[in-house]
Chains A and B, each alone.
Chain A
Amino acid sequence: MSSQKTERLINLTLALLATKRYLTKSEIFKNVTGYSGSAETMERMFERDKDELRSMGIEIDVKALDPLFEDDQGYLIRSETFQLKGNEFAKDELLYLTMAANLWQSTALGNDSKAALLKIQSLSGPIESDVVNTPEIRDSENSSMLATAFDAIEYSKILTFQYNGSVRVVEPLGMYTKTGFWYLVAKDENSFKSFKLLRIEGKLAISGKHNGFKKPENFDLMQYLEKMNREELVLAEILVRKEQAFALRSKYAVSEFDDDWDLMVLPYNYEPEIIETLLWYGENLFVLKPESLRKSIKYFLKEFIDG
């Protein structure tokens, strides 16, 4: 790739960024180095340059300078859409931003983390790494899949993938994590569903272009998640053997029941999850109430013993 073109793109960006008023094409051709040749050649060059900068996320403002002549347009780049401001973040905020971006360094989001850190350090200067010694995140997700999903949500592109043995063609709406795993929320045949990213078989394919569907107006990720979690809490009464189940005791209070057992009340909303937690402690606890939970546990254990 020729350096000339890179140089021209930089000079064009700088000129549009530095100007206080809109620059016309003829001003640009006359003053910005790198534009040469016939009028049509320069015109074509400029259109391509403009498109390329825009495709990289740079916003170029256009304004008709003379309402009578459509051709007479002016161009500029607003500094606030291009650059961060020097006072945008306080010193301690820059530190927290560094810590936040640092977390993702060795994950599927590592590239974005690195790019963000560069920008933060371009505001803050070097930050002592000791101060920002934060945990890192280890994830098992496939980075290309996460990036594809983010992209599809951002630009409303249809996604196609294999899940639980069938092919799904969905409208992606959001992503969330639960116990460390990523989930995709999407509209699949007129209902909103969650898909665990790890369970997507093979490739996550984008079919179609930008704005391939219209995002439903009644969908809000936060509300969707709230609704998922809002299912009513049930209280379980359990007996815990004395001097046992320390991890549970650190989360829920107990009261004395008799010489061998303490009574603990713990809330749950999803039976399989609470059963998993309780059975972990084996003979050291058992459920008094509710009866439905007792029944499920007894059934599961019998099934297990009978193989």
Chain B
Amino acid sequence: MVDTAAIRALRTMDLIPYILENPGVSIKSLSERFSVTEKQIESDLQLVFMCGLPGYTPYELIDIIFEDGIVSVIDPQVLDKPRRFTKSELIVIALGLEILIGIGSPNPERNQKLKALSEKIAKLGSSNSVSFTPSGNNSKYAELIAEAISKRRNIQIKYSSLVKDQITDREVSPQRLYFMNGNLYLSAFDYNKKADRIFKVDLIVQCEITGTKNNEADEETIESLRVVLKVKKSHRNFIERNSSIISSVTENKDSFNVNIDISNIEWIRRSILSNAPGISVVSPESLANEMRQIAASVLALYQAE
């Protein structure tokens, strides 16, 4: 897309305060940050030489030095501060602050500052038509884990596994934290399992930073089982939540047929049971039978009294 003169004018004006605060920045880095080619940045900067305040003597022109791919601003004229945030930028910031508040920090001073800042942003006009609700599970180790990631340290955790329903000790090398479907996850290399694993951060019940260790990456090969499920339309949440492991979906009148490759049989058992009768097993037959037996023994608990 070719930029309009107005878009180019705004970008050029945005360049000045950025370079002013980041003196000696390279053309290459500017091109990455402003999402245009290096050539475009150079031609925007050429333009700046002609711009300034009425009078247009050297004293009134914007003055920059631009040499060997490195730029600095000598005199920004009135462009010494960035433009105000747009409405959608304020929304992004406001939502982000809500998440940071939601994650919670063991440091009460930080939480207070975050709340005050979020009110300040609201006053700047972030929209009141958007509301972001984090899952609300306080993850008290999120900050510690983030620290371990940036310092490339391992952590020793006690993990309350939802699938196995037991607490285990693990030593892992944390790789990254991310939010998905409102929950905070940690992807990490698990030394006991010798494989990458995903942990739900709010299920980490204890965590401390240990030493550094190299990834011994002889990963365990996981065999996967192809399962075909019938998911009623009322239970399509299941499909939306697990889209990353579903290989295909076909639509019927009031249900979907879902092909899914499972590496964790315990997980699929629990998922099917907790969605009963919204999800049923089409194949393999052995899993279908097993699920009926599990359901029957749960039902027996209610009939035994």
Q: Is B130 within 8 A of A176, CB to CB? A: yes
Q: Measured between alpha carbons, how far is A166 from B224 in the docked complex, in Å? A: 38
B18 CB, min distance to chain A CBs, angstroms: 4
Q: Measured between alpha carbons, how far is A122 from B21 in the docked complex, in Å? A: 5
Contact of B78 among A6, A18, A175, A297 (CB under 8 A): A18
Contact of B166 among A79, A246, A294 (CB under 8 A): A246
Number of chain A interface residues as a range? 35 or more
Q: Measured between alpha carbons, how far is A176 from B295 in the docked complex, in Å? A: 36
Q: Is B146 within 8 A of A124, CB to CB? A: no
Q: In chain B, residues 40-93, which have Cβ atoms closer than 8 Å to a Cβ of chain A?
A: 43, 47-48, 50-56, 77-93
Q: In the complex where A7-B50, A100-B99, A118-B34 touch, is A134 in contact with B146 (Cβ < 8 A)?
A: yes
Q: In chain B, residues 168-184, which have Cβ atoms closer than 8 Å to a Cβ of chain A?
A: 176-184
Q: Does B294 contact A (CB under 8 A)?
A: yes
Which residue on A lies nearest to B56, using beta carbons?
A33
Which residue on B lies nearest to A136, using beta carbons?
B178
Q: Does B39 contact A (CB under 8 A)?
A: no
A residues less than 8 Å from B33 (CB atoms): 114, 118
Q: Is B18 within 8 A of A134, CB to CB? A: no
A181 CB, min distance to chain B CBs, angstroms: 7
Q: Does A103 contact B (CB under 8 A)?
A: yes
Q: In chain A, residues 230-251, which have Cβ atoms closer than 8 Å to a Cβ of chain B?
A: 244-247, 250
B residues less than 8 Å from A142 (CB atoms): none
Would you give the 0/1 interface string for A9-29, flagging 1 where the beta carbon is closer than 8 Å to chain B?
A: 111011101100000000000
Which residues of B come within 8 Å of A, CB atoms? 2-10, 12-14, 17-18, 20-22, 33-35, 43, 47-48, 50-56, 77-97, 99-100, 103, 113-114, 117, 120, 127-133, 135, 142, 146-147, 149-151, 160-162, 165-167, 176-184, 203, 205, 236, 240, 243, 269-270, 273-277, 280, 291-292, 294-299, 301-303
Q: A52-B6, A304-B292 are in contact. List 4 more A-B contacts (CB 8 A).
A: A14-B79, A97-B93, A100-B93, A177-B133
Q: 9 closest pairs, A vs B, by CB?
A: A100-B96, A180-B181, A180-B182, A135-B177, A122-B82, A31-B54, A304-B276, A303-B277, A304-B277
| 21 CB-based A-B contacts, threshold 8 Å | A6-B47, A9-B5, A52-B6, A55-B6, A56-B6, A79-B78, A100-B95, A101-B89, A112-B86, A112-B91, A118-B18, A124-B21, A130-B151, A135-B146, A174-B131, A177-B132, A178-B182, A221-B131, A282-B294, A304-B292, A305-B299
